[in-house]
Amino acid sequence: MELNLTNLKDLAYICEIALIYYERSYGLPKEDAWRERITRYRTLIQAEIDRLETSPGEQPLQIDPERVSCETGIYVRAVYPADGKIHSVDISELTKESLFAWLRSGGGNNPWAEKLVALLLGYEVDD
């Protein structure tokens, strides 16, 4: 089985279900070994999910706090520079570099289309 984002999300969900099942069935105390193991797996899986969701290349997507969102309805996970935490944001809130990185993350490389999308979202683009 290939571990991709969908499979990892399924594994995270299974960890949550297992934890709820054991708590309800056996009334596990907070210091129980099973609870600790499931929680540790869930944390590792979530870290990998965050890494995959935020890094189309090597660098995580960055939010530009100065930009005003135009609400495209297309949301991605990106790092907010003020707190360094990952947030779900509209693509119009990304820095121009992160927007281009996200557009290329699917394997495409079309400079004309990238500039067009950037212009439509209100970015200044060099000719």
Residue 5 has pLDDT above 80, yes or no: no
User: DSSP character for 105?
Assistant: T
- What are the DSSP calls for 20-88, one per residue? HHHHHHH---TT-HHHHHHHHHHHHHHHHHHHHHH-SSSSPPBB-TTPPP---S-EEEEE-TTT--EEE
Closest CA to 41 of 52, 53, 33: 33
| Global pTM value | 0.55
pLDDT, residue 23, reads: 76
Mean pLDDT check: name the lowest of 1-15, 17-31, 79-93: 1-15
Residue 112 has pLDDT above 80, yes or no: yes
C-alpha 106/C-alpha 109 separation (Å) is 9
Count of beta carbons in the 10 Å neighbourhood of residue 24:
9
Given pLDDT bands bounded at 50, 70 and 90, which one contains residue 51?
Answer: low
**What is the pLDDT averaged over residues 94-117?**
87
Residue 98 has pLDDT above 80, yes or no: yes
pLDDT, residue 54, reads: 56
